[in-house]
Amino acid sequence: MFLNDDVLCSSCRSKWLEHKKIYNINGINYHVLYEYDENLESFFFRYKEQRDIVLAPSFLHLYKDQFQKTMKKYMVCGVCSSDEKYFQRGFLPLEEIFNSINIKIYFPLYKALDFKQSKHSKKERAQIEKIIQRKNIYPIALKNILLVDDVLTTGATLHRSCELLKPSAVFVIAAHSLWIKENKPYEQVEKKHTFW
C-alpha cells in the first residue's frame, strides 16, 4: 500500500480498461491510452460536467514520468472546447489534466459555436469543419505538434484539428469502444515509438 503511487484507489483503477495501442489515421499515428466504456464515461462526466476538478491528476498519473520525457520534444496542443462550455465549467479539462503532470498545453483552435457530437447525426458531424477554426494570431513554436484530446468518439473533431494543425502525432486519453472496433491498430510497435 505504501509503495503505491497512484492517486486512485486500486478498486477504482482496476475498472479502467487500458488499451495502449497506436492507430494510423490518414498518415498520423493516434496513441490511445484507455478504452472509453460506461465506467470511464461516468468518471469523465463527474470530472467535466459535475466539475470535480480534483480528479484531473488521475488520468495521466500512472505514466507521468514517461509522458514528461516523451512529450517535452513537442508543442502540446489541445482540442478546443466551446466558450459556452468553458464558462459553464469554469475550467479547461485538458489543461488541468496536463498541468497535473507539469506539461504546458496550448489551444490554437476554437469552436465557432457549441457543438456536442453525441447530439447530432453522422451527416451533421461531418460539418465540423465549419465549427472548428484556427485562431488567426496564435504563436506556434518551431517544433513538432502533439495534438491531444481526452475522449475520441467518432474522430471527426480530431480529423478537422489535424487538418488545421498538421500534428506529428495525436495522443488520446480514451477512445470510444465503437471507434476502436472500426479501426485496426498496429500489431507491433517498438517502445521508443510510444508515449507510455
The dihedrals phi and psi of 8, each to the nearest 5 degrees, come to -105, 155
Is residue 131, in this structure, part of any structural domain at all? yes
Query: Which run of H or of E encompasses 85?
Result: helix 83-89
- Residue at 21 is within a domain: no
Instruction: Name the residue range of residue 111's domain.
Output: 28-183
Q: Is residue 10 domain-resident?
A: no
Tell me, what's the pLDDT at 1? 42
CATH classification at residue 170: 3.40.50
Residue 2: what pLDDT?
A: 47
Compute CA distances 63 → 68, 71, 99, 133, 172, whole Å: 9, 12, 14, 31, 14
Whether 19 maps to a domain, the answer reads no
Q: Give residue 36's pLDDT.
A: 98
- Give the residue from 45, 60, 49, 105 showing the smallest Cα distance to 80: 105
* pLDDT tens for the 196 residues of the chain, in order: 444 578 898 899 999 999 999 999 999 999 999 999 999 999 999 999 999 999 999 999 999 999 999 999 999 999 998 888 899 999 999 999 999 999 999 999 999 876 555 554 656 655 666 789 999 888 887 789 999 999 999 999 999 999 999 999 999 999 999 999 999 999 877 777 788 8
75's enclosing H/E stretch is strand 74-78
Q: pTM of the prediction?
A: 0.90
Which pLDDT value is given to residue 139?
Answer: 83
> Which residues, including other chains, have CB under 8 Å from residue 128's CB and lie 6 or more apart?
115, 117, 156, 157, 159, 160
In a domain, 72, yes or no: yes
Question: Is residue 123, in this structure, part of any structural domain at all?
Answer: yes
Tell me how far apart the alpha carbons of residues 78 and 80 are, in angstroms, rounded to a whole number.
Answer: 6
Given this model, what pLDDT does residue 15 score? Answer: 95
Domain count, the chain: 1
pLDDT at 3: 47
Question: Is 20 part of a structural domain of the chain?
Answer: no
The conformation of residue 106, written as its DSSP 8-state character, comes to B
Indicate whether 23 belongs to any domain: no
